[in-house]
Chains A and B, each alone.
Chain A
Amino acid sequence: MSQLSGARRRVVPVGEMVAAELPADGRSLPLLVRPAAADVALAGWIGANRDQARLWLDRYGAVLFRGFGMADAKGLATLLRATGAEPLDYTERSSPRRELGGRVYTSTEHPAHADILLHCENSYQASWPTLLMFLCRVPAETGGETPLADTRRVRGRLPPDLVDRFAAHGVMYRRCLDGRLGLSWQDVLGTADRDEAERRCVARGLRFSWRADGALRTEAVRPLVDRHPGTGEPIWFNHMLFFHPSSLAPEAQAAFAGLASEDLPNDTRFGDGSAVPEAAVAALREAYRREEVRFTWEAGDVLLLDNMLTAHGRGVFTGRREVLVAMG
């Protein structure tokens, strides 16, 4: 883990409007961009410099725009459109969040005392956003970072035979949506109608079965997304670790001990249904840990991520924290 502040960064002027500061030594992200002139409208700058933004994303995976005085939710949707992306709905959800309108969401309503592991948004689904844009309206009193990790570098730390096994079989995601241990199927699928829920499962490529008590079990085997579609580089892009039972809070792990895989709120396996050995899970956790980069949010910060090149998470925090997200 490393910190953004404190490290020496090289400043590179980019045209007359903004200046970029390269990531600290040994790190690939994030690129820090500040205005070089007064009153630079960020949406206008991004709209006129899409290619530059894309180049930055390909290289650094994450760009932090600081000092542009961004504040409102609507502006975030506009900003995302300026990159050329259209804000998406948050579907097949796994985290509680509120929509503030215009497909801008609170980043998560997950309790403050628990952190959220590094993950790539919706990488367990059949489709996913390519860009994420965060806006920090109110930074937390302490903590509350959005830790980042370069998925190319995470991949580089993994044992090749582990990657090969996932490449051969894909990643299996099991969920049991019982509304008690985990979310309810109504919340996850956005409908209270069983027939409609089944249709939505089919549309998303989920095998499903109803448990006697009305819980919905779903299972999907997703092929390993091995390369970034733009740069062609090897990446590690899935929710294998995030949804693995070993990532739960210890009190939840104790509660679930002995539960069958099909009854866990979430479980991940090799695509052939076999369990991932503990040592492999530990190697993966260690790879993320070693690659984690943290920066301290400032009010008005905008963070643009390539969702496939950069994993994100959330640190524990105290105080009020308002970080919004739009996905495109």
Chain B
Amino acid sequence: MKPRRIAIVASGSMGDVRPYGVLAAAFARAGWDAGLVANDGYAATAEALGVPWFTPGLPPLDHVMAWQRRQNAQEAGIFDAGLWDAWFAAYPALVEALTGADVVVSRILWIGDAARLLDIPFVLAPNLPREGPRTDLPRVPVGTAIGAMVRRRRAMSRVPGAVAALNLASHAGLISDRISLLWQERRSFGELLRLQKRHHAALTALASPAARARLKRPVPPILEMVGLSHHVLPPRKHERFTGTWRTPTAAYTPPPDLARLLDGGEPPVFIGFGSVPCMPSGDDFNWLSQMVGAAVRQSGVRAVIAPGWGGLRWPRETEGAADPDKVVVIDGVPHDWLFPRLGAVVHHCGVGTAMAALAAGTPNVPVPFLQDEPFWAWRLHDLGVAPPPIDPMLLTAPGLAGAMRAALDDPAIRSRAAALGQAMREDDGLATAVHLVEEALDMWEPSDVAA
């Protein structure tokens, strides 16, 4: 019998895409013809994860980065036609990539419409909790920015009705979390409706008459599953947590300078802000790099600095040349491989990095910027695996130095992190996800038969 085919669709930063590549690889190991459809630029990631096929059926990575930059700098123009033109222009390639699949999986609700056009069942699979306040976790609602970064966001209070409505819609599950997070940033109902219309027009243009009729009938996903662990967050009533989607530690050969740093002395501290492209003020990472450099010197830690999309670097101009026995600047080391070898992880609390650090059992120093990052930052602190989060706009060298030392030296933080990492590693999020999808698919009847 021909193996069943699964197409998993993801778009965004590494933390947005990689877990879905890991999921695709797990389906492949379970005997599926599994593939990843993502932004052009993730082919190598997919291959390294062992995903059998990869199709660039979404706008290329530089569009994602441009979008991310505007988002983080809190600039107007999230709804710029150019950014979305590329998104909708990719629909023919997307639909082609999905054609022939037995099931489509994504956290983007719009992908469900593309699957319906092809009469393929759809699984909604976010790796984020739903947005909004939670009475059981009152500290920071998912999708709320903290402190100084809101300085530039006063405009957000101008369209209160839209925000409230979106939050409601998100709570009710009418729109996906990611879309509504986007909405937290720049909101306008007119724009939302226009985008929704463009989305439908772009899909309808590709559809046969029968498919058009299907598109008009809303159909819920056959399954909703969340790639989060109940060790990290209690699920809400309607949420089904599978455990995080992590790959078994990959074989990785570090470059000599990194290998030497990891082999000698106190375990180093990772410092990296992932796909965060700039400060909330729109400034580059020059000042942040200087603060990080001074904090590394003051705390005496040994450091792995990851430039990421924002270009974090060693500040030669203020700190002199980096001592290779103490500091290595390197990007692209797999978190699953690197984090367990470290003393602490200083990060922006993107969900991918946060979960990797938790699973590694490594203490954290949260420096959250926006979107769901402040939520995860406080969650890490409340779980006892991190000192309190640091506002990046107000970051100082002594503040960061103290937090890094606390993460390295506080026995309570270390033991809590180790215990939580152990518990998370015992979750088998991938097997659970594969099982849930197979079960849902076996129970699903094609809409034409059902109708």
Contacts and interface: CB of A to CB of B under 8 A. Distances in A.
Contact-size category for A = 20 to 34
Given A111-B151, A249-B147, A254 B390 contact: yes
B402 interface: yes
Interface of B: 144, 146-148, 150-151, 153-154, 156-158, 160, 163-164, 287, 368, 374, 387-391, 394-396, 398-403
Interface SS of chain B: helix
Contact of A251 (B160, B164, B394): B394
Contacts of B391: 249, 251-252, 254-255
B402 A258 contact: yes
A141 interface: yes
A259 interface: yes
Contacts of B156: 112
A94 interface: no
A322 B343 CA distance: 49
Nearest to A263: B396
21 contacts: A109-B154, A112-B157, A114-B147, A141-B160, A181-B394, A249-B391, A251-B374, A251-B390, A251-B394, A252-B148, A252-B391, A254-B389, A255-B391, A256-B396, A257-B398, A257-B402, A258-B402, A318-B157, A318-B160, A318-B163, A319-B160
Prevailing SS type, chain A contact patch? loop
A10 interface: no
Going nearest first, the 10 A-B pairs with the smallest beta carbon separation are A258-B398, A319-B160, A251-B391, A255-B394, A111-B150, A254-B388, A255-B399, A258-B402, A255-B390, A254-B390
B154 A111 contact: yes
A111 B160 CA distance: 14
B157 A321 contact: yes
Contacts of B401: 258
A141 B388 CA distance: 31
B160 A320 contact: yes
Contacts of A255: 390-391, 394-396, 399-400
B147 A251 contact: yes
A223 to B, nearest CB: 32
Interface of A: 109, 111-114, 141, 180-181, 249-259, 263, 318-321
Nearest to B156: A112
Contacts of B153: 111
A111 B400 CA distance: 25
Given A251-B394, A252-B394, A320-B158, A258 B147 contact: no
Nearest to A141: B160
Contacts of A113: 144, 150
Contacts of B151: 111
Contact of B403 (A112, A250, A257, A318): A257
A171 B52 CA distance: 70
A256 B401 CA distance: 11
A255 B389 CA distance: 8
Given A252-B148, A255-B394, 19 more contacts: A111-B150, A114-B150, A180-B287, A181-B394, A249-B147, A250-B388, A250-B389, A251-B374, A251-B394, A252-B147, A252-B394, A254-B387, A254-B389, A256-B396, A257-B402, A257-B403, A318-B164, A319-B160, A321-B157
Nearest to A111: B150
B215 to A, nearest CB: 36
A253 B49 CA distance: 41
A95 B17 CA distance: 42
A255 B399 CA distance: 5
Contacts of B157: 112, 318-321
Given A113-B144, A141-B160, A257-B402, A181 B396 contact: yes
